[in-house]
Amino acid sequence: MLVHGVWTDDGLAFWAETTPAHRAAGAGPGAVRAHPFAAGASELAAVLGLDDAPPYELELLLPGSAKEPLPSPESGRQTETVRPRLRTWRVPAVVPPAVRALPLPAEHSATATMRHWAAVTAFAHDLVRRGRVIPQLAPAADAMGRAVWRPVLTGADAAYFRELALAMPPVCRAWRAERPSPQVLGAALEAFTDALVRRTLTEPLTERPETPAGRWLAALTGDSPVCPDVPALRRELEAWRDAVAAAEGATRVCFRLTEPSETPDPSQAPAPSEAAGWRVELALQAADDPSLYVPAAAVWSGEAVTGLPGRPERDLLAGLGRAVRLYPELDRALRVPRPCELALDTAGAFTFLRQAAPLLQAAGFGVQLPRWAGRTRLGLKLTTRAKTQSAAASQGFGLRELVDFRVDLAVGEETVSEEELAELARLKVPLVRVRGQWVELDERQLRAALKAVESARAGEAPAGDLLHEIIAHDDELPLLEVDADGVLGDLLSGQAERRLAPLGTPPGLDATLRPYQERGLAWLSFLSELGLGGVLADDMGLGKTVTTLALLVHERAGAPTLLVCPMSLVGNWQREAARFAPGLRVYVHHGSGRDAALIGSADLVITTYGTAQRDLETLKAHTWRRVVCDEAQAIKNSGTLQARAVRSIPAGTRLALTGTPVENHLAELWSIMEFANPGLLGPRARFRTRFQEPIEARQDEQATQALRRATGPFILRRVKTDKSVISDLPEKMEVKEWCPLTTEQATLYQAVVDDMLARIDSSEGIERRGLVLSAMAKLKQVCNHPAHLLKDGSRLTGRSGKLARLEQLSEEILAEGEKALLFTQYAEFGTMLQPYLAQRLDRPVLWLHGGLPKKTRDRLVDRFQNDPEPMLFVLSLKAAGVGLNLTAANHVVHVDRWWNPAVEDQATDRAFRIGQRKNVQVRKLICAGTLEERVDQMIERKKALAERVVGTGEEWLTDLSTDELRDVFELTAEGV
């Protein structure tokens, strides 16, 4: 499904293109036809996670023929239309409110329109973050108005706006194509900016909404922007905006809140400090250098300050005049000729913190608050003690075991007694000082604190209940600290794998686990004993597969484990299990020959995400010890059918394997955690309001810490940059990647074998040798891609298992911010790969082959070595196998293998050489069940023969008999 974005009067609309057609275009002559490749609105809404968004039907002006519109370039579909014309087509769409559309669904950013809207939303985020927005009053229908936040575009921002307008794909404005790009972009940017500011400002901006101006202020943060239209106020606001735009932002007025200077005795009871002492200091600040801060007193003194304009007094007065509209209390400071500060009582300081400061900052003014502002809050401290001091990984401990617990109120690291809480309730002021720390305390928090004191503060409870309470605590009174011992302490520490005793390599595993893998095995076993799921999120190449197999061997469970993975990894799992855990009974539940009766006799059942969705009822009917999702980013979109299917399979525990638990936004983490531990993070809507929006939109540190505390016990991630991991890694790690053939590849492969064996059998001498080498070349080309053999210029998407795995590996490497070398022995295949990967991955892909002049070759090498951007370098094995220093890459992929190990090693040494500071991961792509696998087996089986003849390349195969060649060439069942 390819998702597109188009701007409409109702906001950003999403529609999707699918292959094959969902429905046929149907309409009479002259009528608006239905787009034959458009997905249904309900299906689209589910994929985007916008189930509650109302469906729309749009009429879009798209190029094409009378039969169908042109497919988008990203679809890979070919078209027979020679002279396309613009025609109107009906498409189902979803139009969420702007606040729901942000952030954009980045996992669907494969189309040009979605990438463009992502750039627009990023621009809006940046404008709001820098305060380049201003409140306005826009006229609406029926003599009413709309309170809106509009961006202020000057200087570089205005230039970038023009660039975005020029770069806008025409499909972005296909709803009303007559509107120019700047008009469409301006409307979209204003809507995104308004939504982001409203999501940031959660407190009302006025306590007197009965006046027209007060209703406008209230509408700036309320659910509805509708308010009375006051022409005089509207003109005044427009003049303000024009003045701001004309000023070009050389300086800005800054407001610094300072607390009372007296220092109380920390042992004293809470004090309100009602006496004067709070101050808002006025100052000028350079817009491009916030460190240049000049107090108003220095400005009025007339002393010259480097970096400020020639008339700073005028800028200060003009800025204060604009600010007083947003912060009316400032009027008291402006009653003197040279205002320097505004004196406040405690209530006034709290109002400035909660209301004025966010509003001024959003409007572009500088605001400086005390370090404790927004951080030091009243919360809870939970202390638990295991009733029996058992070891962390002791057998038999479960989350139903009782533990002693105590709940205390705390401010930061200080515990608050009941007497002190009663004093806080008596004071009834929003800012109090407790143990020397200032605390913001509203009535809602105070009521929650009193309720916590009235309820039981000590006793005993099941460990599982306390765990749920820790993760799902009330937002009004956050959990600030947990002091736990025993199993809960190990689990909640976030370092359980280091606190647990490592489990050595279990008997029956034909491998030696490295120390970090032993710790990972102990952690997985620990969670399993507690009946909890986990996410093993180690970097790619650190051995998630062998660690998981070690867990299965260690448990020797009666019920089978179900492993769900992409189709391209089925063969890899099957081989790795046979290699490392030969005692496991493995059954692959995939393909036309799958038999559910074989599930019960297996220890490990391997299936694909597609098969799991199709055979859901069959899989749900079995008892599973565990469900494992490999490449769990496949279920990162919780609304997809395959994600829902996998989550619905009942199991004792669940395990997600992924190197990227969060690729684009936090909703992906919720989806993966919902699979591993259902219900742990609450409903998706609550997760969005409690974690996703505060963290992504406001970088809320408390929400970040709370989410880390909630998910940390269940996610184990080790990275290659960790010294404790790197010391355990070899300098070079080689991995064989097993790739399946598509049906088209298998058919072509068999046709080549049948044709060539008949001709080889009737030939001899030099002719026979030539036919064998020709057959090998053709079979290798089939394994690469059908288009490589046919040379017909046809599309590449979806026709090659090897290309699919290469694309997946490339995405993972680029997501880690790293570089890779992709070697192929065929220059013609490299010429096909370079544009395809560049378009699919939207990252630079370089291509070096023997036909390039030396200057071009040197320029490509220099760019790859020195450009910090992650990228891929496709190289011809013969042209680049020797003589190049490419240490910027720490990944090497041999796309089509050269069967001489020395030649492969020489190519690998372009990255694995002096100057390389990272461990090099070498991957060799092999098509399962084909010539590639059979020769690999032969080399492994006959080491002496390989050492003797492999130096001469592939010619040693030409001397085999026809029967031996048939064994080598024949397509096995695994390749079908």
pLDDT confidence bin for 830, thresholds 50/70/90: very high
| 43 contacts: CB under 8 Å, gap ≥ 6 | 1, 16
Do residues 825 and 963 both lie within one domain?
A: yes
User: Measured between alpha carbons, how far is 513 from 417 in angstroms, rounded to an integer?
Assistant: 50
Tell me the two tokens of residue 912.
């694995």
CA torsion through residues 299, 303, 307, 308, sign: positive
Burial of 218 (0-12, 13-18, 19+ CB in 10 A): buried
Both tokens of 855, joined, read: 């200057």
- Residues 905-951: pLDDT tens digits? 778 877 876 567 788 899 999 988 888 887 676 655 533 322 322 23
Entry field: residues in the chain: 976
pLDDT at 231 (0 to 100) = 86
What pLDDT, on a 0 to 100 scale, did the predictor assign at position 250?
Answer: 67
The verdict on 839 and 775 lying in the same domain is yes
Pairing state of beta strands 534-536 and 586-588? unpaired
Q: Is the pLDDT of residue 605 over 90?
A: yes
On whether the CB atoms of residues 550 and 517 are closer than 8 A, the answer is yes
- Over residues 142-164, mean pLDDT: 83
Q: Is residue 183 in a domain?
A: yes
Please spell the DSSP secondary structure of 647-666, one letter per residue.
HTS--SEEEEE-S-S-SS-H
Contact 164, 122 (CB under 8 A): no
Q: Is the peptide bond before 260 cis (omega within 30 degrees of 0)?
A: no
pLDDT of residue 965: 64
pLDDT band (50, 70, 90) for residue 620: very high
SS3 content of the chain, % helix, strand, coil (to 5): 45, 20, 35
> Is residue 661 within 8 Å of residue 669, measured between CB atoms?
yes
Asked, as a colleague might, if the bond just before 103 is cis with ω within 30 of 0, I would say yes
Q: Rounded distance, CA 183 to CA 191, Å?
A: 13
pLDDT band (50, 70, 90) for residue 187 = very high
- Gap between the Cα atoms of 816 and 796, Å rounded: 25
Please return the burial class of 19, using the count of CB atoms within 10 Å of its CB with bins 0-12, 13-18 and 19+.
middle
Rounded to whole angstroms, what are the CA distances from 956 to 51, 579, 754, 959, 960?
Answer: 61, 28, 21, 6, 8
How many distinct structural domains can be found in the chain?
A: 6
Q: Are residues 535 and 650 in the same domain?
A: yes
For CA atoms 19, 22, 27, 32, the dihedral sign is negative
* Chain centroid offset of residue 623 CA: 33
In a domain, 383, yes or no: yes
For residue 417 the two structure tokens come to 């007694």
Q: What is the pLDDT of residue 53?
A: 75
Residues 47-51 have a mean pLDDT of 76
Domain presence at residue 65: yes
Give the orientation angle of helix 962-969 with respect to helix 743-761, to 10 degrees. Answer: 170
Q: Is 517 left (phi over 0), alpha (psi -120 to 50) or beta?
A: alpha
Given 453, 485, 517, the domain boundary residue is 485
- Name the phi and psi angles at 700, rounded to 5: -65, 115
CATH number of the domain at 505, please: 3.40.50.10810
Query: Is 921 within a domain?
Result: yes
Q: Phi and psi for 536 in degrees, rounded to 5?
A: -90, 105
Instruction: Round to the nearest angstrom and report the end-to-end CA distance of the chain.
Output: 26
Query: Is 307 a member of any domain?
Result: yes
Residue 26's pLDDT is: 46
Kindly tell me the burial class for residue 937, based on how many C-beta atoms sit within 10 Å of its own C-beta (0-12, 13-18, 19 or more). Answer: exposed
Residue 752: what pLDDT?
A: 87
Same domain for 673 and 788: no
Look at residues 96, 112, 144 and tell me which one is the last residue of a structural domain.
Answer: 96
Q: What pLDDT is stored for residue 244 in this prediction?
A: 65
pLDDT at 87 over 80: yes
- For residues 627 and 224, which has the higher predicted lDDT (pLDDT)? 627
Higher pLDDT, 732 or 476: 732
Q: Does residue 441 carry a pLDDT above 80?
A: no
d(C-alpha 934, C-alpha 789), whole Å: 20
Among 53, 39, 169, 135, residue whose Cα is nearest residue 101? 53
- 490 within some domain: no
Residue 207 scores a pLDDT above 90: no
pLDDT given at position 873: 95
d(CA 878, CA 896): 13
**Torsion from C-alpha of 794, 796, 798, 803, nearest 10 degrees:** 150
The backbone region for 436, taken as left when phi is positive above 0, alpha when psi lies in -120 to 50, beta otherwise, is left
Helix (H, G, I), strand (E, B) or coil at 843: coil
Q: Both 662 and 785 in a single domain?
A: no
Q: Which domain holds residue 847?
A: 735-975
The kind and range of the H/E element at 743 are helix 743-761
- pLDDT surpassing 60 at residue 390: no
Q: What is the pLDDT of residue 473?
A: 55
Percent of the chain with pLDDT over 90: 19
User: Does 394 fall in a domain?
Assistant: no
The pair of three-digit structure tokens given for residue 774, joined into one six-digit string? 């020709």
Residue 762, H or E segment: none
Question: What pLDDT band is residue 468 in, cutting at 50, 70 and 90?
Answer: low
**What is the C-alpha separation between 114 and 159, in angstroms, rounded?**
22
Which pairing describes strands 85-94 and 55-64: parallel, antiparallel, or unpaired?
Answer: antiparallel
Does residue 126 share a domain with residue 113?
A: yes
* Average pLDDT for the chain: 79
Going from the C-alpha of 327 to that of each of 159, 164, 379, the distances in angstroms are 32, 34, 31
pLDDT at 953: 39
> What pLDDT does 400 receive?
65
DSSP secondary structure of 410-477 = EETTEEE-HHHHHHHHHH--SEEEETTEEEE--HHHHHHHHHHHHS--EEEEEHHHHHHHHHT--TTS
pLDDT, greater one: 498 or 791: 791
**Residue reference for tokens 């029996």:** 388
Say which residue the tokens 């942000």 belong to. 102
In contact, 506 and 377? CB cutoff 8 Å: no
Residue 217 has pLDDT above 50, yes or no: yes
Of 77, 96, 115, the one marking the end of a domain is 96
Considering the entire predicted model, what is its pTM?
0.53
Buried b (16+ CB within 10 A) or exposed e, 893-926: bbbbbbbbeebbeebbbbbbeeebebbbbbbbbb
Of 179-183, 425-429, 512-516, 594-598, the one with minimum mean pLDDT is 425-429
Task: With a cut of 90, say whether residue 252 has pLDDT above it.
Answer: no
Task: At 340, list the tokens.
Answer: 């320097």
Quick one: which of 696, 703, 547, 544 has its CA closest to 633? 544
Same domain, 426 and 278: no
What percent of the chain is predicted at pLDDT more than 70? Answer: 77
Over residues 571-584, mean pLDDT = 89
> What is the C-alpha to C-alpha distance for residues 235 and 108, in angstroms, rounded to an integer?
42
Q: Are residues 601 and 539 in the same domain?
A: yes
Q: Is 173 a domain residue? A: yes
Residue 839: give its domain's CATH number. Answer: 3.40.50.300
Identify the pLDDT of residue 276: 53
When pLDDT is cut at 50, 70 and 90, the band that residue 72 belongs to is confident
Q: Which range, 167-176, 207-216, 264-273, 464-473, is most confident?
A: 167-176
Task: Please report, to the nearest 10 degrees, the dihedral formed by the alpha carbons of residues 926, 930, 936, 939 taken in order.
Answer: -160
**Which tokens belong to 789?**
């053999």
780 plus 917 within the same structural domain = yes
Do 660 and 567 fall into the same domain?
yes
Report which of residues 387 and 359 the model is more confident about.
Answer: 359
**Does the structure show a pLDDT above 50 at 265?**
no
Q: Residue 484 pairs with which residues in a beta bridge?
A: 384
Q: How confident is the model at residue 863 (pLDDT cuts 50, 70, 90)?
A: very high
pLDDT of residue 625: 92
Is the Cβ–Cβ distance between 277 and 300 less than 8 Å?
no
Query: What pLDDT does 724 receive?
Result: 63
Residues 84 and 57 both lie in one domain: yes
User: In b/e form, how buried is each residue of 616-628, taking b as 16+ CB within 10 angstroms?
Assistant: beebeebebbbbb
Torsion 695-697-699-700 (CA) sign: negative
Residue 928 is predicted with a pLDDT of 83
How confident is the model at residue 647, as a pLDDT? 92
Q: In terms of domains, do 756 and 709 share one?
A: no
Q: Is pLDDT larger for residue 961 or for residue 582?
A: 582
Q: What pLDDT shows up at residue 22?
A: 44
Residue 399 scores a pLDDT above 90: no
Q: Which of 23-27, 175-179, 387-391 has the lowest mean pLDDT?
A: 23-27
Identify which has the larger pLDDT, 625 or 312. Answer: 625
Mean predicted confidence (pLDDT) in 512-535: 87
Q: What is the pLDDT of residues 473-503, one digit of tens each?
A: 555 666 777 777 777 777 776 666 666 778 8
d(CA 543, CA 538): 8
The one-letter code for the residue type at 591 is G
